[in-house]
Amino acid sequence: MSFDQTINELRYGGPQVRIRAATYLAEANNPQVTPYLLEALKDEDAEVRIAVAHALNTYRDPQAVPSLIELLNDKNFAVNASAATTLGLTGDERAVKPLLHMVERVLRFGPNILVQHQAIVQGLVALGRLRDERAAGLLIKMLKKGYKHSVSDWQLQVRQAAALGLGLLDQPAGNQTLIDTLTDDEPTDLLESVTTALGMLRSEQSFKMMAGYLRFAPFENENKLFRRQQCLIIALGQRGDRAAVPYLLPLVTSVYPEVRIALTETLVRLGETEQGEALIPLLRDRSSAVRTAAAQALGALGVQSAAGPLSAVAVDPDRRVAGAAQNALENIKALPSAQRNVYLPPPPPTPPQGHSTDQSEDRSGEQSR
C-alpha cells in the first residue's frame, strides 16, 4: 500500500479502514506521518482515536503532547487510557498535571466500570514513567489505600500499578512506602509487584535504604516483617549490584527458610562465585527446600569446595534434594578447572557378570576354611 493511499484511508475510509491505516502508519516507522496522525486524533470515532494514540507510541514526538493532553479530557475512558500510555512514553513533563487531574477525575466515578479502572491504572504508570516528584503523593496514596470501593481484583491491580509507578519514579518518600508495604499481611501478588518495583530502583540512596532495612530494628515484629527481608533480598538481586553481597551474607543464618532460599537464588543471580562457599552450611538445613536451593546454587556457581559436602547430600532421603546435589556435582565436574581438583564419589562396584554376591561370599568362606 502506498503512503498516499494510506493517508487517504486514514482521512476518508470507514472506521475499520481508518483504524487499519493508523496501525499501518505506526508500523511504517516514518516520522513524516506524525502530522497526519495528529490530525486523526480529532476523529469523531473513539476507536479510531484510540488506535491513533497507540500509533503515536512509535514516534513519541513532543509535538503530539498537547493533542494527547486534550484526549485526557475525552468523555471516553478508553481514550483517556490510551492517551495516558502514550504520554508516559514521551517523557514530557508537560503531561504531569493533566495526568494527575485525569486520574483524580476518573477516581470520582468510583471506578464503576472496567474502562475507568484501566484509565486510572495507565495514568498511574504514566506518572511513574515521567519521573516527576509531583506524582509521588498520588502514587503513595494509591499504593497504601487503593480504591475506596471496588472489586477485589481492581483493588489489587491499582495498588500494583501504583507500586510500579513508584519504582519508576525512584523518590525517597515513595521508596519508603514500597518498603513499608513488605509485610506478611499483604497479598502475595502485591508483594511480588512491590519487589519488582524495588528492583527497578537505581539511585545510591535507594540502595542504602534497601540494604539498611535488611536488618530488623529493636522491638520489630520479625514474624510479620520477615517478608521484608525476603523481598529486599530478591530486589537487590534484580538490581544486579554485587555491592549488596556483604549485606546479604549474614542472612544465611536467618531463622526463616524463605529468607535463606531467597539468599541462595540472589547469589546465583548476582553470579557471586567468590562468596559461594557461604552457602555450604545450608546443605545441612532442616528444611528440604533450603537444602535443594543450596545444592542448586552451589552447582550453578561452580563452587568446587562444595563437592565433598554435595556428595554426602547426594544420598539425601528427599529425592529432590538428592537430585539437586547430583546435578550440582555434575556441573562442578564439567568445569575445566575442576577436572583434577574435585572429589566425586565413585559409582558402586558392579558384580562380575554371571556371579552373584552370595557366590562370592561362599567362595571367601571356603578359602578361610
Q: What is the pLDDT of residues 308-360, one digit of tens each?
A: 999 999 999 999 999 999 999 999 998 776 554 555 555 556 665 654 444 44
3-state secondary structure the chain: CCHHHHHHHHHHCCHHHHHHHHHHHHHHCCHHHHHHHHHHCCCCCHHHHHHHHHHCCCCCCHHHHHHHHHHCCCCCHHHHHHHHHHHHHHCCHHHHHHHHHHHHHHHCCCCCCHHHHHHHHHHHHHHHHHCCHHHHHHHHHHHHHCCCCCCHHHHHHHHHHHHHHHHHHCCHHHHHHHHHCCCCCCCHHHHHHHHHHHHHCCCHHHHHHHHHCCCCCCCCCHHHHHHHHHHHHHHHHHHCCHHHHHHHHHHHHCCCHHHHHHHHHHHHHCCCCCCHHHHHHHHHCCCHHHHHHHHHHHHHHCCHHHHHHHHHHCCCCCHHHHHHHHHHHHHHHHCHHHCCCCCCCCCCCCCCCCCCHHHHHHHHHHHHC
- Please tell me the predicted confidence (pLDDT) of residue 363: 39
- Please tell me the predicted confidence (pLDDT) of residue 226: 96
Identify whether the C-beta of residue 128 lies closer than 8 Å to the C-beta of residue 164.
yes
244-342 placed in CATH 1.25.10.10: yes
- Please tell me the predicted confidence (pLDDT) of residue 347: 59
Identify whether the C-beta of residue 183 lies closer than 8 Å to the C-beta of residue 222.
no
- Please tell me the predicted confidence (pLDDT) of residue 345: 57
- Please tell me the predicted confidence (pLDDT) of residue 25: 96
- Please tell me the predicted confidence (pLDDT) of residue 334: 85
- Please tell me the predicted confidence (pLDDT) of residue 110: 84
- Please tell me the predicted confidence (pLDDT) of residue 360: 40
b/e string for 76-108 if b means 16 or more Cβ within 10 A?
bbbbbbbbbbbbbbbebeebbebbbebbebbbe
- Please tell me the predicted confidence (pLDDT) of residue 361: 42
From-to residues of CATH 1.25.10.10 in the chain: 244-342
**Which positions of the chain have pLDDT values less than 70?**
337-369
